[in-house]
Structure 1
Amino acid sequence: MLCYWGAQVREGFGLLKPELVRHGNCGIKSICPKSAVQDMSAGKSFVGFIREGKVSVLRLRGKDSDQDGKLKHLQLKKNTIRLIVCGEYGAVLLDDGGKVLIMDKSTECSPLKGLENRQVIQIACGDQHSMALTNDGQLFVWGENALGQLGLRKEQAGTQSPRHLQSLCGIPVAQISAGGNHSFVLSLSGVVFGWGGNSAGQLGLGDTTDRFVPTVVNSLKRKKIVSISCGGEHTAALAKGGTVFTFGSGGFGQLGHNSFKDEHHPRLVAELWGSKVSQVTCGRNHTLVSTASPKLIYSFGCGMQGQLGNGEQVKQSVPLPVDQPTEYNDEYTIQKLVAGENHSFALYFKELGNEANPDPTRGIMTFDNGMIEQCECGKDPRKAIKDLKKVFSSAASLNGSFLKTRHDGHYQTSEEYCGLDFGLVESSIATLSRNERLISTVLKVLQESLLPTLNPNPTGEESLRLYILLPELISHLKSEQKAELTEALASKILNLSPAALRVLEIYWSKLPDDWLKNLVKLFKKASAKFFGRIIVENVNNVAKTHMLKFVEILQRVYQVCCSANRNIKKRYFIIHEVNNLLDVLQTMNADVNNNWPWFNLTGQIHALEAQRNAYEETFRKLTSFPCIFNLEAKCSYMRNRVWKGRFELTVRRTALLEDCLCLLNPGTQQHLRDKWLSILFTENVSKRTDVHKRDFFLNVFKELCDPASQLFMYNDNETMIWFPAKLTVEKKKYFLFGILCGLAFNNSSVVNLPFPLALFKKLLNIKPSLEDFIEFNPVHGRSLQYILEYSNDVLEESSLPLTIIWSGSELDLDPAEPEQHITTSNRTKFVDEYVDHIFNQSVKEAFEEFRRGFFRGCEKRLVEMFEPEELRGVLVGNEEYDWNILKQNTTYEGVFNADHPVIISFWEVFDDLTPNEKKSFLLFLTGFERVPILGMSAVKMRVTHLANSTEDHLPETLTCHSLLQLPKYEKRETLRAKVIEAISHKRGFWEE
């Protein structure tokens, strides 16, 4: 049955005799043609009907004619039509095979060229533009584009040939809709995209600016939108559960908000609240909605020609029921509402319970396990395999698969939530992987069809689900194509726009642990493979390019894990093959460092030097991705890199700081970071030894960190230092301190810098935390921790002022209201600002001078290789004095061996030393007071006989080689006395 009302029209449309038309109240008429109307559409010039797959159209009366034309049957040969949509002057038709036909204003029909080989499932028509959706999720547009209604960007003119709307590639489209000069797409997860004319706010974006590209309607996110309809200049959206939102032109009341104002944002139609609307459709200037229970139709908007079905010719701004025929209520259900230019239609089916049921042929193809069953043992396995290929070749189809439908989870898709059902993905991949033929088919399709088409600048978050699905799928494959797929995927990830990559990283941060580990494993294994190729085949540009892509993704994932505090160990990211490549480079660097003057004088090593430079360049790039290095590799690379000459610093033993201030001032020495530091003393400028450098660093930092220097403040127990809030010395001293710290780092010298971890975080641009403050000042820091842990009642009773008290001063966080107290709502912000003040704001001037000096003395890229804890360890060392390891790692040369009486006596004496005496021995041996970051195992002591010595001689050391030279003492007591005297000896200039 078809009911209709509105402007005067040919009685019965010619579908049956006029006398068989039933007249109801308020101008509503109903007809029941012998051939039932399967679908219909009404535009400005035509109304069209589909009966038994055939199309009939009726030209509506207009300015040039005061009466309707006759019903005309279109000549469509063998086409069986299932959909028709009418525009301003023509119509678009869709047949059962998915072919599109165009009807022009003379009612002539012709196939639309450009979509012959595609299966279209939905069509939409505006005034002068049209859209078609294919079953693999691709959207095609044609017509006028003056206001951006095609979504093809501003510079694109209109087109009569279908153009693929690439900006929506990857979006699993559920519905398309076209209005007068605007367009909408609704995704499977309820995300709404609009574009085109926006003069009345019909795009719902909060303004009246036209859009030439699809734009997400953010205010409709997470509203569970299931249907969208466009009118002339207004739009309506239907949410699951039956709520309706309208926006755009409201001059005729067509928004239903009890006003005649335009709305630029989607607004809930309050009068329909609780009505559980099942359908909504927009006409030129009026709107129709229907409810399933009870079976009602509501109308609002322009009714000047009776199109509201209320018997009056008025503008109506609130939804009111249409007086539809009541005798059919129990027998028919409302299948479709159609709102045209000045007409309204309700198509009823004589099948209870079918109202608003979606047509499965109108949805894009998505994957399900039944598809695999059909491929394996279905009636038509060829078609099933073809369908499988289509799903895995389409970004939209694959993104629309595996959605978390339970509790409508996929409707919550956002930048924070991808909407995937991870369990469903795992079970589906497991099922698919059991069939080698199918998995091989999928692999080929992914490589040849899917990956090449991915959009680097996708619109909306849904399209990024694919970058979560693909690594998991690829990681479960056992195929030679796996490496190629991984490389192609890596390229696509790194080509994403910054905004899209940021969302993807958020998705990574929320992955299940197993998925996150699979992601790391996939790119780590691919990286390791290319490291091996580089070692065997030398530096190959293709291999290097691929490898750098993989490690960049690993680094990004690692940073995501750190930021999100994910419980995934750093060891998962380390690529041990890096060490093998480093060994090759270090062998080459050793030759260059040991012979660099000779190298500069000969021309015989160009090939070797070119090869070394290629390795060096590769490693320089790899240092940007430090997560792949273990600590040993980082330290080894630093120690063994090639230096560009020496920087000699000549100082007086009795005036270290004075000379350093003069020689290392901001206006001099611009290239310290590339050169090996050599310390010369004016008292003996001819003697160059690494011992001098270690002695220099040891004592210059003793002076700088001494309370008498007034450079720093100490914590309560005087074990740590920090920059003062108020400077009492010249700023240039902090610059000097920074240079010296940078030089110490650059030259792998362990120095005494009793700073909290906050310093090393700041050097790496990591924000210090409350835990860092607790390390520096446990009492004060824990008091802030207590504030975060207080119950609401305790906090309210305490009346703590919103004031920072630090370094003898008080700071009100809100000077405008100094009497404020800490509350449950502001305590987190208070603690954050407190820590920020101590570590950042109050020391900004001194720290910036220090930072500037620090990076004058060392390369920033090398510093950024390390984590904060590692950076502190490299500079400061540690106090894990495992003397047994020192003994196990000691080697003997010349006349000595482990069983020699002198060696046995030495270790007996050493074991009897006090802890402080053992530390003094370590300083005597290495020039460092603390253990290097790699632990005592990094101290490789060698023991040899002191040539031409007697029992009167003291033991001697070469600290740069950790070489202990012992005389042959006959008695243990003599050895003990000489060792203690040696480690206590005034062995350096600083005590003379």
Structure 2
Amino acid sequence: MPRRRGPRHGAASSLLFFPKAPFFQEDPGPIRQISCWRGCLAAAKTDGTVALWVGAQLGGGRSPAGMPRHIKLKNNVKVNLVDCETSHLLILSSEGKLSEHGLVKSEPRLLKELGNKQIIQIACGDHHSMALSKGGELFSWGQNEHGQLGLGREISAAREPQLVQALEGIPLAKIAAGGSHSMAVSLSGSVYSWGKNTFGQLGLGHTEDRNSPTYVNALEHKKTVFISCGGEHTAVLSKDGLVCTFGAGCHGQLGHNSTRNELFPRFVAELFGVRVSEVACGRWHTLVYVTDLGKVYSFGSGSEGQLGNGRKCDQLIPLPVDLTEKGRKSNQEGSASEENIKIIAGDNQSIVISLKEKNSCASLNQTVARIEEEEIDKWVSDLDPKHWRNVRQDINLIFSSVACVNGSFLNKSQDKHFRTSQEVAGINMSAVLLFSAKIAEKPKVCTEVLNAVRKLVESLRSSATSPEALRVFLIMPVILRKPYLQSDTLLSQLAGVIVGLQPEGWQMLESLWSNLDFPFFKDVVDVYQRLSSVKISCIIEQMRSFERVYRHGDVACPLQILQVLYEVNSRTGFRIQEKNFYVPEVKKMLHLPVFFAFEVLIPVPCVLDMEAKILLHDVDRCIVSQMHILLNLDGASTVTQLNVRRQHLVQDTWVCIRNMQAAQFRPFLIVDFIGEPGIDDGGPSQEFFTILVRELCAPETQIFQQFEESHLIWFSSQAPAEEDIYFLIGNLFGMALYNKKIAAFPFPLALFKKMTNVPVTLEDLKELSPVEGRCLQAVLDEQYDDILEIMMLDFTVMKEEGGSKVSVELKDNGANIPVTKYNRQEYIDAYVNYIFNDSVEEQFKDFMCGFLRGCPAKNWKVFLPVELRIVLLGHTKYNWEQLEKNAKYNGYEESDETIKNFWAVFHDLPEEKKKDFLAFLTGTDRIPSQGMERFVFTIEDARKEDPDQWYPVARTCFQTLTLPRYSNQDVLRKMFLFALEHYEKFGLS
């Protein structure tokens, strides 16, 4: 139990006992470490043996059995540490093997249950024990009535050491055991407590027992480096020498000048101004040591004289102990302040050991194995066989242990690793990159690392929720980022563990990813992008060769991680470009069995570029259409035809849509303009959407709010004349997407964000209403309170209602809440939310119901908001030179005079007339989502020579322009312009 021990380096030059210890009837000889508790005192001697005194009491004038028992381990193995509890003694050998020894006469029993684990720290409570291995595993056994074993509530006791799974992966620096509670601190100062909590000794702010290690939030970022547990209180020591205590304070053992219990850690104010270097808790008292002053301070119960002040009363504040008083020393005289002092607090005893050889026993106080910077160079240097064996052992120990990996590569610059939290990993990613680069040049080292990592990956659990336990998921992808032999297999297994993380672990890992520096975040993305590409290629080859050996998880897991990384990237402002997430091989998957491709790709749209998403959407809509035919073989129509009059287009369209059944939207659409010749093979239906959009968006219809500055529209917050108008418009919008038509409603990006469940922001308001957006930005940027007061803003917004403006409150009592620097972000968020959400809630709901009815293909959500807008509204970025390059010819050569004249006339047209040409050719003046580079049309010979009998004709279904052979540019220009002005006549299919 750490309340009666601490790190003990060197040979003892003197021992001081409080109260006096009359039982040394023989000189125990040089001692390296002592533990005492409840009538038992055990000393690990420098000769490798143990001296054990057992009696009713130790000190206080009562005489126990004065002669010690001497214990030796078999084969003359030396003893490194000892610790005792009520019924037995733990003996840790210099080889890391742990034995138990009964306090009555018996032989030490090796704890074979620990196997080949090398133990480095031990701790005993009243009736429970703990052991920490060099590989970072914590074991506990004994009684568990209060949960002090950390094994859960189901186990009442454990006779053999059990792994404390809740702390797996966390690199522990110190462990401590109290009467019936336990504590642990990590290398980065995270503190965990469990067990009995009647007096608040767990530091959690309440008095409920905990049967599993629980993070002590109150000690976060306190740089805790050491912990000691008393019977029912706890003391922690920070790297800066500050002491916090909590738990039972009935005897003043917390040092707060009171006998009150403390449920939260509280600094010992009386120790401010000194730098404490050691702390030790007894059952009801506490000792601290200040190296700089060479003084030991004591406080708490003094009933047996254990405070060293010559009195037997309680002491509520830390006061110095006189270490030079005659009669208090044994072995030799000397000034304690000149020596290395170590303190031990037992049940009712205090011991001070004065050591002269400070570093003579470096094996004491070991921590878990981890990579240090100087070791890396040693690993990659050319070593002789003997040293290489040691290096191999180190590599296998560290890289097969999650805790050891997580304890490596710590960012020690300005103690940054002590800031580890849900947002900060506390590791030096540059060191990880450097290590990866160095081992890549040494195949021998690389092979050993990979062999060890294989064991590590197999041992990984998906239950990790601590940021320190999650470090491995940041470190290993970087180490494995180069395609070593079997590294992709290990990465795939690692991806499987990540995907299986509990929601809390997922959320924390996302937070750690989002706070990585740009180059390291990009490295992680590159790793999973490359891995996804490799796995997809393997599956494609296997399926093509009919090798049904692929596993869905092999590709699904890295793809899912890539999608999460994409979402992290978008939340942090797109630090890296979207193209870094694209996996080109996914396009090939669309030629595989469709359902497999859909199952894999639909959840991960980030890996698809625009072309792949459009192809996926095409496949989806074709499946829906074909399934409709297959399920309705007797009377199914392969198309849905709308018969409409051009002069009454809106009215006829609404009648048709209202009368259509849901199943009628599944076949593809054709449009017949009544009284006009031609068959719709694409052109008339596109023209149908173009004309409808133009008429519906006309200001006189008053269907939409018109924003003159941005030339955009938004839903009207007032009740429309036709109750189902937004449902019908949504239906029309869905039909356009399903039938691959452009419906160029001038909506802002906000609509497409809402459709894909992406939150709208102030930037969206700036796009829709620039003046309004700039005003709100000015409120957000204003630095002076008095100017905000002059603005006289409150939590209200004005809206149109019945031809007049009325005030609407953005929150309860908003009219009486002024906007200040402290609540302006809330005000702006509420304002934006009102404009885009609250004010048009019913309108948008109707719109989406109509949209989902009009577009029975459900996988359109693979498109990002900006992509969905381009697919539905088309491009407005024109490249007329590219249009000429894309042109194909039928009956003409590019060098023919007519072709030269055509392009001369075309390029000489005003911009608007060029757009009219697109409408003449395709039915819309917008460029399809694939861009001008993919826009191909054909110019063919009309085989007519008489210009009076022939005009340019566009067959919109095939994007073909038919030209008579004119050689005169003026005649061609005249006929061409006439055709553009009357394209309804000449632009038929």
Separation of aligned partners in 2, 1:621 and 1:116: 44
Q: Verify: 1:866 aligned to 2:860, yes or no.
A: no
Equivalenced residues, count: 936
TM-score of the superposed pair, with normalisation by structure 2? 0.89
Q: Partner of 1:419 in structure 2?
A: 426
Which of the numbers 480, 501, 518 marks the counterpart of 2:485? 480
Which region of structure 1 is more displaced relative to structure 2, 65-74 or 549-558?
65-74
- Kept in 2, the 8 Å contact 1:167–1:459? The answer is no
Separation of aligned partners in 2, 1:847 and 1:504: 35
Which of the numbers 562, 565, 582 marks the counterpart of 1:554? 562
Which of the numbers 488, 498, 511 marks the counterpart of 2:503? 498
User: Which amino acid in the other structure matches residue 563 of structure 1?
Assistant: R
Using the TM superposition, give the Cα deviation of residue 370 of structure 1 relative to its aligned residue in structure 2, in angstroms. Answer: 4.0
User: Which amino acid in the other structure matches residue 78 of structure 2?
Assistant: T
Which of the numbers 604, 611, 632 marks the counterpart of 2:611? 632
Alignment of 1:876-955 (within 5 A): 876-893=873-890, 895-946=891-942, 951=947, 952-955=949-952
Q: Say which SS state the counterpart of residue 4 (structure 1) adopts.
A: strand
Q: Partner of 2:109 in structure 1?
A: 110
Using the TM superposition, give the Cα deviation of residue 794 of structure 1 relative to its aligned residue in structure 2, in angstroms. Answer: 6.6
Which of the numbers 714, 727, 737 marks the counterpart of 1:735? 727
Q: Partner of 1:44 in structure 2?
A: 38
Which of the numbers 350, 361, 371 marks the counterpart of 2:356? 350
Q: Partner of 1:25 in structure 2?
A: none
Q: What is the Cα-based RMSD across aligned positions, in Å?
A: 3.0
Separation of aligned partners in 1, 2:857 and 2:406: 41
Q: Partner of 1:53 in structure 2?
A: 48
Using the TM superposition, give the Cα deviation of residue 41 of structure 1 relative to its aligned residue in structure 2, in angstroms. Answer: 0.9
Q: Verify: 1:756 aligned to 2:748, yes or no.
A: yes
Cα–Cα, structure 1 residues 118 and 872, in superposed 2: closer, same or farther, change >3 Å?
same
Separation of aligned partners in 2, 1:627 and 1:422: 26
Q: Verify: 1:648 aligned to 2:640, yes or no.
A: yes
Q: Deviations over 1:477-498 (max 9, x none)?
A: 4522222122122112212222
Using the TM superposition, give the Cα deviation of residue 97 of structure 1 relative to its aligned residue in structure 2, in angstroms. Answer: 1.0
Alignment of 1:800-811 (within 5 A): 800-807=792-799, 808-811=805-808
Cα–Cα, structure 1 residues 434 and 989, in superposed 2: closer, same or farther, change >3 Å?
closer
Q: Partner of 1:608 in structure 2?
A: none
Separation of aligned partners in 1, 2:858 and 2:295: 70
Using the TM superposition, give the Cα deviation of residue 439 of structure 1 relative to its aligned residue in structure 2, in angstroms. Answer: 0.9
Q: Partner of 1:744 in structure 2?
A: 736
Which region of structure 1 is more displaced relative to structure 2, 696-705 or 435-444?
696-705
Using the TM superposition, give the Cα deviation of residue 255 of structure 1 relative to its aligned residue in structure 2, in angstroms. Answer: 1.7
Using the TM superposition, give the Cα deviation of residue 572 of structure 1 relative to its aligned residue in structure 2, in angstroms. Answer: 1.6
Which region of structure 1 is more displaced relative to structure 2, 557-566 or 211-220?
557-566
Q: Partner of 1:958 in structure 2?
A: 955
Alignment of 1:600-619 (within 5 A): 614-619=593-598
Separation of aligned partners in 2, 1:281 and 1:848: 66
Separation of aligned partners in 2, 1:302 and 1:678: 93
Q: Partner of 1:2 in structure 2?
A: 15
Q: Deviations over 1:360-381 (max 9, x none)?
A: 6511111135435555336632
For structure 2, the 5+ residue unaligned runs are 1-13, 326-332, 626-637, 800-804
Using the TM superposition, give the Cα deviation of residue 925 of structure 1 relative to its aligned residue in structure 2, in angstroms. Answer: 0.8
Q: Say which SS state the counterpart of residue 538 (structure 1) adopts.
A: helix
Q: Verify: 1:125 aligned to 2:120, yes or no.
A: no
Which region of structure 1 is more displaced relative to structure 2, 364-373 or 880-889?
364-373
Q: Partner of 1:451 in structure 2?
A: 457
Separation of aligned partners in 1, 2:465 and 2:866: 40
Which of the numbers 9, 12, 15 marks the counterpart of 2:22? 12
User: Which amino acid in the other structure matches residue 676 of structure 1?
Assistant: F
Separation of aligned partners in 2, 1:440 and 1:94: 34
Which of the numbers 97, 100, 103 marks the counterpart of 1:99? 97
User: Which amino acid in the other structure matches residue 129 of structure 1?
Assistant: H
Separation of aligned partners in 2, 1:429 and 1:535: 31
Using the TM superposition, give the Cα deviation of residue 241 of structure 1 relative to its aligned residue in structure 2, in angstroms. Answer: 1.5
Cα–Cα, structure 1 residues 989 and 907, in superposed 2: closer, same or farther, change >3 Å?
closer
Separation of aligned partners in 1, 2:664 and 2:52: 85
Q: Say which SS state the counterpart of residue 386 (structure 1) adopts.
A: helix
User: Which amino acid in the other structure matches residue 446 of structure 2?
Assistant: I
Which of the numbers 82, 86, 89 marks the counterpart of 2:84? 86
- Kept in 2, the 8 Å contact 1:253–1:259? The answer is yes
Which region of structure 1 is more displaced relative to structure 2, 945-954 or 162-171?
945-954
Alignment of 1:74-473 (within 5 A): 74-77=71-74, 78-108=76-106, 109-325=108-324, 328-330=334-336, 332-333=338-339, 335-351=341-357, 362-372=366-376, 374-375=378-379, 376-377=382-383, 380-447=387-454, 449-473=455-479
- Kept in 2, the 8 Å contact 1:941–1:963? The answer is yes
Cα–Cα, structure 1 residues 454 and 574, in superposed 2: closer, same or farther, change >3 Å?
same
Using the TM superposition, give the Cα deviation of residue 657 of structure 1 relative to its aligned residue in structure 2, in angstroms. Answer: 4.3
Using the TM superposition, give the Cα deviation of residue 114 of structure 1 relative to its aligned residue in structure 2, in angstroms. Answer: 1.0
Q: Verify: 1:709 aligned to 2:704, yes or no.
A: no
- Kept in 2, the 8 Å contact 1:287–1:300? The answer is yes
Q: Partner of 2:872 in structure 1?
A: 875
Cα–Cα, structure 1 residues 407 and 970, in superposed 2: closer, same or farther, change >3 Å?
closer
Q: Partner of 1:21 in structure 2?
A: none
Cα–Cα, structure 1 residues 140 and 674, in superposed 2: closer, same or farther, change >3 Å?
farther
Using the TM superposition, give the Cα deviation of residue 820 of structure 1 relative to its aligned residue in structure 2, in angstroms. Answer: 4.8
Q: Partner of 1:791 in structure 2?
A: 783
Q: Say which SS state the counterpart of residue 223 (structure 1) adopts.
A: coil
Q: Say which SS state the counterpart of residue 112 (structure 2) adopts.
A: coil
Using the TM superposition, give the Cα deviation of residue 552 of structure 1 relative to its aligned residue in structure 2, in angstroms. Answer: 1.7
Using the TM superposition, give the Cα deviation of residue 627 of structure 1 relative to its aligned residue in structure 2, in angstroms. Answer: 1.9
Separation of aligned partners in 1, 2:373 and 2:912: 70
TM-score of the superposed pair, with normalisation by structure 1? 0.89
Q: Say which SS state the counterpart of residue 354 (structure 2) adopts.
A: strand
Q: Say which SS state the counterpart of residue 623 (structure 2) adopts.
A: coil
User: Which amino acid in the other structure matches residue 400 of structure 1?
Assistant: G
Q: Verify: 1:853 aligned to 2:850, yes or no.
A: yes
Separation of aligned partners in 2, 1:112 and 1:815: 67
For structure 1, the 5+ residue unaligned runs are 17-32, 586-611
- Kept in 1, the 8 Å contact 2:921–2:960? The answer is yes
Cα–Cα, structure 1 residues 672 and 546, in superposed 2: closer, same or farther, change >3 Å?
farther
Which structure would you say has the larger RCO, counting Cα contacts within 8 Å and 6 or more residues apart? 2
Q: Deviations over 1:420-449 (max 9, x none)?
A: 1233323333333322111111111112x1
Separation of aligned partners in 2, 1:932 and 1:860: 19
Separation of aligned partners in 2, 1:812 and 1:305: 71
Separation of aligned partners in 1, 2:139 and 2:655: 72
Separation of aligned partners in 2, 1:956 and 1:138: 81
User: Which amino acid in the other structure matches residue 39 of structure 1?
Assistant: Q
Q: Say which SS state the counterpart of residue 151 (structure 1) adopts.
A: coil
Using the TM superposition, give the Cα deviation of residue 136 of structure 1 relative to its aligned residue in structure 2, in angstroms. Answer: 1.2
Q: Partner of 2:5 in structure 1?
A: none
Q: Deviations over 1:833-879 (max 9, x none)?
A: 22222222222222222223323333686333222222111111122
- Kept in 1, the 8 Å contact 2:780–2:825? The answer is yes
Cα–Cα, structure 1 residues 864 and 385, in superposed 2: closer, same or farther, change >3 Å?
same
User: Which amino acid in the other structure matches residue 974 of structure 2?
Assistant: A
Q: Deviations over 1:700-729 (max 9, x none)?
A: 222332223322111133711112233344
Q: Say which SS state the counterpart of residue 644 (structure 1) adopts.
A: helix
Q: Verify: 1:835 aligned to 2:832, yes or no.
A: yes
Q: Say which SS state the counterpart of residue 650 (structure 1) adopts.
A: strand
Q: Say which SS state the counterpart of residue 425 (structure 1) adopts.
A: helix
- Kept in 1, the 8 Å contact 2:644–2:671? The answer is no
- Kept in 2, the 8 Å contact 1:247–1:267? The answer is yes
Separation of aligned partners in 1, 2:954 and 2:619: 23
User: Which amino acid in the other structure matches residue 111 of structure 1?
Assistant: L
Q: Verify: 1:567 aligned to 2:561, yes or no.
A: no
